[in-house]
């Protein structure tokens, strides 16, 4: 048996429980001062404040620092070939994201590079990104396919995710996103691509157990709300839980659909209408907000406060991808959550831990410092939670503990 006692914690801050926290509960977290956490075999056994229990295993002096659960990144496009730095000049000239895509750039240029990459190349690149994420305090994440857009290359991406989950300390949850764009070879016959997705790709992915979720980019010029419904229902029929990129640029019905389908989460929601918020509240859908993308697209910010007031649980994630957000640092996302969404540090912590875990179906295992959960913890170069949310641009990680390992 291996055990670890972390003592001399200045502040232990964590949401509580096994499911997403909504409304006023989102900001109600447990805060203990002069605290300790005791773990055995990678599991949290106990925690408290005051004098720690006598134990014989490994001890770690937290030096009065802040300790939180490991961060959970609930939305990444982790597996891709190439980068898109060539689009920066267009961005500076205000060429819109959807215009770059319509001209065959954007997602489609990453599709070209991803198809050309070998499985080993994609693995090495994503592994490096996971190492960087871990160093920034992320201990679990989601990863989407969606740059293959055919059977061979979508499955190739999903196999890379499967292998990373087995070999890397990070827990990586796979999402099938063959509905990320219509590939160029189907440009003149999009309904044939929808058939391929629903009748071939989704069943193949489900049969090989390569994904837990099915996601669609519901957006002007990409997939309509009706098409998104068809794809997500096909996914549900095969056992894939629906997620949806909704209201990122244009409000074309994605958030309404999310609530109607009871999607586990809806992503972006930058221009989410009030009816969409109501629909998500009714459907129990988690709003997975991506403020670093708003920053990078120079767009507005999702109405997070309205969502919290309406009882929609808010999660936040990086959206790490080579186009609209080449950033994997959740600490920056936390800054933006406070400054742009006007969320409190307590609400922000819940958004990047427990609610994010719930958005990827991991809330029973990670996302909070609770007895019986995985011992995924971060010791921060910070005395308290306010400091972590207030400092900007530094990496404040002191130490990351994954499954009880330092
Ligand atoms: O590669 O641009 N929004 N998908 C939907 C993305 C951004 C990723 C990309
Ligand atoms: Zn995305």
* Percent of the chain whose predicted confidence (pLDDT) is above 90: 97
Query: Residues 140, 7: one domain?
Result: no
396 belongs to a structural domain: yes
Q: Which residue pairs from 221-228 have beta carbons closer than 8 angstroms and sit at least 24 positions apart in sequence?
A: 221/98, 221/101, 221/102, 222/101, 222/180, 222/181, 222/182, 223/179, 223/182, 224/252, 224/253, 225/252, 225/253, 225/254, 225/256, 225/257, 227/179, 227/194, 228/179, 228/254, 228/257
Whether 302 and 272 have beta carbons less than 8 Å apart is answered as: yes
Whether 264 and 236 have beta carbons less than 8 Å apart is answered as: no
214 belongs to a structural domain: yes
Query: Residues 254, 313: one domain?
Result: yes
State the chain's mean pLDDT as an integer: 97
Token couple for 116: 């050309």
- Would you state the pLDDT for residue 56? 87
Residue 342 sits in a domain whose CATH number is 3.20.20.140
- Would you state the pLDDT for residue 331? 98
103, 249, 294, 321: which to mutate for ligand 1, most atoms within 8 A of CB?
321
Q: How many angstroms is it from 107 CA to the middle of ligand 1?
A: 6
Q: Could you read off the pLDDT of 375-395 as tens digits, one per residue?
A: 999 999 999 999 999 999 999
Section 74-101 average pLDDT:
95
Rounded distance between C-alpha atoms, residue 254 and residue 234, angstroms: 17
Q: How confident is the model at residue 1 (pLDDT cuts 50, 70, 90)?
A: confident
Q: How many angstroms is it from 257 CA to the middle of ligand 1?
A: 20
Rounded distance between C-alpha atoms, residue 101 and residue 5, angstroms: 51
The number of distinct structural domains making up the chain is: 2
> Is the whole model's pTM more than 0.85, yes or no?
yes
- Would you state the pLDDT for residue 63? 98
The atom of ligand 1 lying closest to the CA of 84 is 1
Q: How many angstroms is it from 215 CA to the middle of ligand 2?
A: 9
- Would you state the pLDDT for residue 131? 98
- Would you state the pLDDT for residue 290? 98
Rounded distance between C-alpha atoms, residue 349 and residue 145, angstroms: 27
Whether 341 and 297 have beta carbons less than 8 Å apart is answered as: no
Section 308-314 average pLDDT:
98
Query: Residues 232, 135: one domain?
Result: yes
Section 204-227 average pLDDT:
98
Q: Ligand 1, atom 5: nearest CA belongs to which residue?
A: 217
The atom of ligand 1 lying closest to the CA of 80 is 1
233 belongs to a structural domain: yes
* Percent of the chain whose predicted confidence (pLDDT) is above 70: 100
- Would you state the pLDDT for residue 55? 82
- Domain of 36 in residue numbering reads as 3-69+368-401
Q: How far is CA 222 from CA 179, 225, 331, 394, in A?
A: 9, 10, 31, 36
105, 288, 319: which to mutate for ligand 1, most atoms within 8 A of CB?
319
Q: At what angle do helices 151-167 and 107-116 cross, to 10 degrees?
A: 80
The ligand with the least distance to the CA atom of 73 is 2
- Would you state the pLDDT for residue 270? 98
Distance spanning both ends of the chain, measured CA to CA: 16
The mean-pLDDT minimum among 67-71, 98-102, 288-292, 374-378 falls in 98-102
Q: How confident is the model at residue 54 (pLDDT cuts 50, 70, 90)?
A: confident
The ligand with the least distance to the CA atom of 149 is 1
Q: How many angstroms is it from 98 CA to the middle of ligand 1?
A: 10
Rounded distance between C-alpha atoms, residue 108 and residue 95, angstroms: 16
Q: Which residue has the tokens 């708003």?
A: 294
pLDDT at 107 over 90: yes
Query: Residues 65, 95: one domain?
Result: no
Query: Residues 265, 300: one domain?
Result: yes
Query: Residues 385, 295: one domain?
Result: no
Query: Residues 377, 287: one domain?
Result: no
pLDDT at 104 over 90: no
Query: Residues 219, 335: one domain?
Result: yes
Query: Residues 168, 296: one domain?
Result: yes
Residues with CB under 6 A from ligand 1: 77, 106-107, 110, 217, 245, 248, 321-324
178 belongs to a structural domain: yes
- Would you state the pLDDT for residue 126? 98
Query: Residues 8, 133: one domain?
Result: no
Q: Could you read off the pLDDT of 124-171 as tens digits, one per residue?
A: 999 999 999 999 999 999 999 999 999 999 999 999 999 999 999 999
Q: Could you read off the pLDDT of 20-37 as tens digits, one per residue?
A: 999 999 999 999 999 999
Whether 396 and 136 have beta carbons less than 8 Å apart is answered as: no
Residue 380 sits in a domain whose CATH number is 2.30.40.10
Q: How many angstroms is it from 324 CA to the middle of ligand 1?
A: 6
């Amino acid at each position: 048996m291996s055990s670890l006692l972390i003592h001399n914690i200045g502040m232990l801050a964590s949401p509580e429980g096994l499911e997403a926290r909504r409304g006023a509960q989102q900001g109600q977290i447990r805060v203990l001062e002069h605290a300790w956490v005791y773990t055995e075999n990678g599991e949290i056994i106990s925690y408290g404040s005051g004098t720690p229990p006598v134990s014989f295993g490994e001890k770690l002096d937290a030096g009065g620092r802040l300790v939180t659960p490991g961060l959970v990144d609930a939305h990444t496009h982790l597996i891709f070939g190439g980068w898109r730095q060539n689009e920066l000049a267009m961005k500076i000239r205000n060429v819109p994201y959807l215009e770059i895509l319509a001209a065959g750039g954007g997602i489609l240029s990453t599709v070209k590079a991803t198809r050309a990459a070998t499985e080993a190349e994609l693995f090495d690149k994503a592994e490096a990104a996971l190492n960087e994420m871990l160093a920034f305090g992320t201990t679990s994440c989601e990863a989407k396919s969606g740059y293959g857009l055919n059977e061979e290359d979508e499955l190739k991406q999903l196999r890379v995710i499967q292998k990373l989950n087995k070999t890397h300390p990070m827990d990586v949850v796979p999402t099938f996103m063959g509905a990320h764009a219509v590939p160029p070879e189907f440009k003149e016959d999009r309904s044939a691509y929808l058939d391929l997705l629903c009748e071939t790709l989704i069943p193949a992915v489900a049969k090989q157990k390569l994904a837990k979720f099915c996601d669609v980019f519901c957006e002007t010029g990409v997939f309509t709300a009706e098409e998104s419904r068809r794809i997500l229902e096909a996914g549900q029929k095969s056992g894939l839980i629906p997620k949806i990129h909704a209201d990122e640029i244009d409000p074309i019905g994605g958030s309404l659909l999310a609530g109607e389908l009871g999607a586990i989460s809806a992503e972006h929601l930058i221009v989410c209408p009030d009816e969409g918020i109501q629909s998500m509240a009714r459907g129990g859908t988690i709003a997975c907000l991506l403020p670093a993308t708003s920053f990078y697209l120079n767009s507005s910010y999702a109405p997070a406060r309205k969502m919290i007031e309406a009882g929609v649980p808010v999660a936040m994630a990086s959206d790490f991808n080579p186009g609209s957000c080449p950033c994997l640092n959740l600490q920056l996302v936390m800054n933006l959550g406070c400054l742009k969404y006007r969320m409190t540090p307590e609400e922000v912590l819940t958004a990047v831990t427990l609610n994010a875990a719930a958005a990827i179906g991991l809330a029973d295992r990670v996302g909070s410092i609770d007895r019986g959960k995985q011992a995924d913890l971060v010791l921060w170069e910070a005395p308290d939670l306010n400091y972590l949310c207030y400092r900007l641009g530094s990496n404040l990680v002191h130490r990351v503990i994954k499954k009880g390992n330092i």
